[in-house]
Structure 1
Amino acid sequence: MCGICCAIVLSPLQSTCREDHQAKLQRRGPDCSRHVSRRDPGSGYECRFSGHVLHMRGPLTPQPLEDDDGNVLLWNGEVFGGVPVGSEDNDTQAVLRHLGASCTEAQVLAVLSAVRGPWAFIYYQARRQWLWFGRDYFGRRSLLWQFAEGHKAVTLSSLSLSGAGSGQAAWQEVPAAAVYRIDLEACSLAGSFHLSAYPWRCPSTECHESDFRWEDVLGSACLGLNDSSLFLEAPVAPLKRQVPEEPLDSQNSLRTAEPLEVLDSLLLSGEMKTRAHQLLDALSEAVRRRVQLLPRSPGGTGVAVLFSGGLDSMVLAALADCHIPPEEPIDLLNVAFQIPLASPRSSKETKRVEEADDSAGSRVGFEVPDRITGRAGMQELLAMNPSRTWNFVEIDVAPEELRSTREKHICHLVYPLETVLDDSIGCALWFAARGRGTICANGTSEPYTSRARVLLSGIGADEQLAGYSRHRAHFKSAGWTGLEKELGMEMARISSRNLGRDDRIIGDHGKEARFPFLDEDVVSLLNSTPVQQKADLTLPRGLGEKLLLRLAARELGLGASSVLPKRAMQFGCRIAKMENRKEKASDKCSRLRRT
């Protein structure tokens, strides 16, 4: 994980990145900072690179990283496959070696197409005076761009470096639909920027460019497809088109049975059992890649799970247990927002909350749904492996702390996204990732702050396995074909709706989010699985959505958590109850106004 930034101007730079801007980037990469410049006196352009490193793998390698040919690389990513990286090597060095050996456009694209794992990068190719940049196919790492007034400068950064006051150009997320190239010499001579886009060749019709117009013009900086008609190869298999004409009659008799009995009955089918094990194997390998080869100190905690006790987080925690050294604790980060006492409640709801708070011995208002399922999940994990130290971290957030922290940190990180949903998810993730709360030790509650640098997140499960309520609506109105189309759309837009925001939020604590459900092999497996085997929405909530994952969880040894209904984070942690209840998730959020 790194905080990366590059300012490019077509005439000599008059100002530098302010000290407070560097401090924001350094929060993402607290271990090492470095600055490098490249300029061409003849053409007049100048590039200033700034890198802030969170050390995760191999020897600590300062960024920007340079080679003997003058190439410069800023790399905010992880190589989990595709490009050889030894267990003791640093992936930034490995990527620069391969890019440095690439002379042509096609060769650069071949390197980027090969990498398996999340990345955002900025690469100065010295011999050609080209600047390359972009994000991985799913957009798992944040990268923003801003074109300055007068259109003589562009800044690329992991996060926005300026406020939204008058006179400031807007920041935008760099679309993950492509990687981009600037011919610095040609643009300097022309006096304006022209960006060449190299799109991913998509494996299905629901591909990235469906939401992006290549003819868009950002001021006088024209963005268009590259003249060579080159592209990157998508890292996942095509989405399979195979749906039944009618609902699965064989499951009609299961709709009134006990949920766990339904799963056990379905696992008697050889095909469903095989599918469940295929998913379990792919997820296990994805988790292994993400929790091993980390810098570890004796007795320290290297990995945490964003943990609600729900299906996704329970599966990730159980799989992490299989691959993390047995003597190492695993932190389970569980966040709860206090419902103000003055908020309207029915007398029945008030009595239930007060009884839950009293029975748990917690502060009033924090016994939210995710806290209840989280504790139950913790007990389930403890039963599976009682020798592991499971740190269930109760992170309580009071309204006054939420308001002050949102204004000071979170607004800036969520930007340029701005909806009520972005606010809710962003705030929940920021406090969860900070990891400051309490744990129960020796029968008493003690302050605890997680030191884990890797946070496992379950994002991607709902998008691929029909976990959201809107999927039931599409299935009801358009059947299997409509559901499959919606799942394709979910993955096509996940970069712009979720992942850049989540990376900015979590990275603010000098920690790195990792997404096993978005591992390329996992996505390829699910893309090749018929939709009716991934989900059967003729079955009730807690069964039909994410059916295949529930079967995998059952095979993994999980019990009650494998049949919990889907509950969105903003409702489970109760942040959605703290604000105006009449707001819609898609409304523009007034609380995210920045100064």
Structure 2
Amino acid sequence: MCGICCSVTLSIDGYGGYEFLHKNLLQNLKRRGPNSSHQVLKTDNDYHCLFSGHVLHLRGLLTPQPIEDGRGNVFLWNGEVFSGINVGAEENDTQIMFNHLSSFNNESEIISLFSSIRGPWAFIYYQISSHCVWFGRDYFGRRSLLWHFSNTGEGFCLASVGAQAVGIENKWQEVPACGIFRIDLKSSAISKRVVLKLYPWKYISKENTIEDVDKSLNQISDDLPKFVSIEINGARLFLKTPVTPLNTNLPPQDSFEPAHRSHITATIENLQVFLKDDHMKKTVHQLIHVLSEAVKRRVLCLSRTESVFLNDNLSKASAKKANIAVLFSGGIDSMVIASLADQHVPFDEPIDLLNVAFMTEEQTGHTTFTKNSGKAKKHVETPSKENSKRSATTIDNIQDQNINVPDRVTGRAGLKELKALNPLRIWNFVEINVSLEELQRMRQHRISQLVQPLNTVLDDSIGCAVWFASRGIGYAMKEDEMKPYQSSAKVVLTGIGADEQLAGYSRHRVRFKTHGLEALNKELEMELGRISSRNLGRDDRVIGDHGKEARFPFLDENVVSFLNSLSILEKTDLTLPRGVGEKLILRLAALELGLTASTVLPKRAMQFGSKIAKMENNNEKASDKCGRLQMLSSE
């Protein structure tokens, strides 16, 4: 995870004519990359570029950014190369990527490189020979990148995260995850127009690729200033889409008889019946394999100290800190991710399960209790103002055994299942309790800037919930007593992508009942197409604010390709009741992994499971513009 930024001044009057890198933006970037901060200034007679890089060190040797070669090319990288090009265990993918880019002489080589890599990424590359800046996000948009163009045409800024600044109108927008962009800086400075050359992803399954791209260009252009235009690159080069097309084939009408399944109830026994079908069982095991490999890449691809050997005293493990955390509700997505992580994280290393709950004003007492006695003692706790230190000794979260929001209840039940699967693993179930006062304070000072440019009630709810959860400050059971705890994990696994691919949302059931399987297929295709703009950029900014990296196993390219290859009824069956039909194949995979009660839990959205949706205005719709996100700090 890194905070990357490039501020460009298109002026011959000297550097500083249009300065973006103000204090607030630099602070936001540094929080994403606490291990190294560095800046590089490149000047030309017609333009000036300031590159700023802030690194969270996760793999190989610490490589400060921006990275520059002897010719003056500059590279900023916020990504993980999991496959596609060779990156050794002790190597840093930033350096490997830059080595490739520095050796290229033409644009087709650059496009070929980004077509080949697998993993999340956002990048900025200054190619001095052509006076061009290249930038973009991966196919799913798993890493945030924003752009901001001046109203006068004097310059623009690219950054992982935006910020409010006095005198600068807040018009940060997410860079569309539709391909890679190139800007000729010299030409832009002379013409006073910025032309965005797009190298789009090519949808191999569609014959009307160019028409589709042109349509998307019009939509992007509508949100840009008049002096900025966008057009397909002159060579008509395309990036190769990294996943297989969605299988939209439907079963024969006479083979699909939904009526006979309507009586099935959501029980483990009824779920197990589906595994008696040999084809279904084989498909389920294929999913387990590809998803397990995706989790493996994401939990092992980071620097670790050496693990103890099996014959060492296991008490040594209790002193170890967690490297991996899971956003954990106890629902089917997080349970499968946690159980697969257990198979690959070193046996002596704890795994943090981050469980967030939002409290009503009545729940203000501080209750401590022991595992053995169960006796509670009431205390009064004054919230601390030292949030920026994020120290466990300055926690202003409140521990209350009565914080039984739905996700806390299912989370505790899920913990018991995981302990049954592996009782030797140290599972740190971190209870993160957030008061209304703390929610409002941290939204104003931190979270609102991270959620923007998204601005709906849903963005507010999810953004706040994920921010507090990924911060990892709460209470955990230590030595048979609930004690203050702060997660040390730099990698946070999240289950996003499962609902979008496996029809987990209630809107999918409505769509199916109203318009049938064909309409459901189109809905799922749309879900993945818009996940970059609806979810991933926001979640990356929110989690990255704690100097942690979000990783998304369900959006691994191999996982998506496998699920796309299946027919709709091999993945989900919405003629079955809630708790069985949605995400059917994942529920069956969970059964095969040894999970029990969690396999038949119905989908519950995070904003309802954590009860953040009940904290303030209950009359709002999720799609409404959220006025609370406008209450930005003036500091």
Q: How does 1:137-176 map to 2 (within 5 A)?
A: 137-163=139-165, 168-176=169-177
Partner of 2:505: 468
Distance in 1, matches of 2:361 and 2:204, equals 48
Distance apart, 1:128 and its partner CA: 1.5
Q: 1:256 aligns with which of 257, 260, 264?
A: 264
Residue 352 of structure 2 is matched in structure 1 by 331
Q: Which secondary structure state, in structure 2, belongs to the residue aligned with residue 308 of structure 1?
A: coil
What pairs up with 1:168-187 in 2 under 5 angstroms? Answer: 168-187=169-188
Offset at 1:219? 2.5
Question: Pairwise mapping of residues 123-522 of structure 1 onto structure 2 (< 5 A)?
Answer: 123-163=125-165, 168-204=169-205, 209=213, 213=218, 215-216=221-222, 217-246=224-253, 248-249=256-257, 252=260, 255-257=263-265, 259-297=267-305, 299-341=320-362, 363=400, 366-522=403-559
Alignment-mate amino acid for residue 607 of structure 2:
Q
1:328, distance to aligned residue in structure 2 (A): 0.2
- Residue of structure 2 equivalent to 1:354: none
2:508 is paired with a residue of what secondary structure?
helix
Could you report, residue by residue, the CA deviation over 1:282-333 in whole angstroms, capped at 9, with x for unpaired residues?
1000000000032224622100000000000000000000001000000000
1:8 aligns with 2:15: no
SS at structure 2 position matched to 1:112: helix
CA distance in 2, matches of 1:236, 1:120: 18
Matching residue's letter, 2:591: R
Distance 1:478 1:181 in 2: 42
Whole-Å separation in 1 of the counterparts to 2:266 and 2:239: 48
C-alpha distance in 1 between matches for 2:205 and 2:460: 32
Whole-angstrom CA distance in 2 between matches of 1:304 and 1:391: 9
* CA apart distance, 1:112: 0.7
Cα deviation for residue 570 of structure 1 reads 0.3
Secondary structure in structure 1 of the residue aligned to 2:199: strand
TM-superposed CA distance for 1:215, in Å, is: 4.7
The 5 Å alignment of 1:32-181 reads 32-41=36-45, 44-163=46-165, 168-181=169-182
Runs of 5+ unmatched residues, structure 2: 307-319, 364-372, 377-398
Pick closer, same or farther for the CA change 1:330–1:36 going to 2, 3 Å. same
Helix, strand or coil: the match of 2:135? strand
Aligned to 2:32: 28
Whole-Å separation in 1 of the counterparts to 2:575 and 2:258: 11
Deviation at 1:437, TM superposition (A): 0.4
Q: 1:218, CA displacement in angstroms? A: 2.6
Q: 1:264 to 1:38 in 2, by over 3 A?
A: same
Contact persistence 1:148–1:169 (CA under 8 A): no
Partner of 2:276, secondary structure, is: coil
Structure 1 residue ranges without an equivalent (≥5): 343-357
**Amino acid of the structure 1 residue aligned with 2:7:** A
SS for the counterpart of 1:139 is coil
CA apart distance, 1:84 = 0.9
Say if 1:254 and 1:264 are closer, same or farther in 2 by CA, change over 3 A. farther
Q: SS where residue 4 of structure 2 aligns? A: strand
What is the CA–CA distance in structure 2 between the aligned matches of 1:338 and 1:365, rounded to whole Å? 10
In structure 1, what is the equivalent of residue 390 of structure 2? Answer: none
Q: Please state how far the C-alpha of 1:224 moved relative to its aligned partner.
A: 1.4
Number of residue pairs the alignment of both structures matches: 578
Offset at residue 21 of structure 1 (A): 2.2
Rounded Cα–Cα distance in structure 2 between residues aligned with 1:269 and 1:212: 46
Counterpart Cα distance in 2 of 1:154 and 1:446: 48
Cα distance in 2 for partners of 1:430, 1:76 equals: 19
TM-score, with length taken from structure 2? 0.88
Q: For residue 253 of structure 1, report the CA deviation from its aligned partner.
A: 5.0
In the TM superposition, what is the alpha-carbon distance from 1:259 to its structure 2 partner?
Answer: 2.0
Question: For 1:130 and 1:162, how far apart are their aligned partners in 2?
Answer: 28
Is it true that 1:525 corresponds to 2:562 in the alignment? yes
| Letter of the 2:578 counterpart | R
Report the Cα offset of residue 116 of structure 1: 0.3
What is the CA–CA distance in structure 2 between the aligned matches of 1:360 and 1:460, rounded to whole Å?
Answer: 41
- Contact persistence 2:357–2:432 (CA under 8 A): yes
Amino acid at match of 2:487: S
Please state how far the C-alpha of 1:444 moved relative to its aligned partner: 1.3
Percent identity for Structure 1 against Structure 2: 54
Q: Which residue of 552, 557, 560 corresponds with 2:597?
A: 560
Give, in angstroms, the shift of residue 360 of structure 1. Answer: 10
Letter in 1 for 2:439: L
Measured in 2, the distance between the counterparts of 1:507 and 1:538 equals: 39
Q: Contact 2:262 / 2:575 at 8 angstroms: preserved in 1?
A: no
Asked if 1 retains the 8 angstrom alpha-carbon contact of 2:243 and 2:558, the reply is yes
RMSD (Å), alpha carbons: 2.1
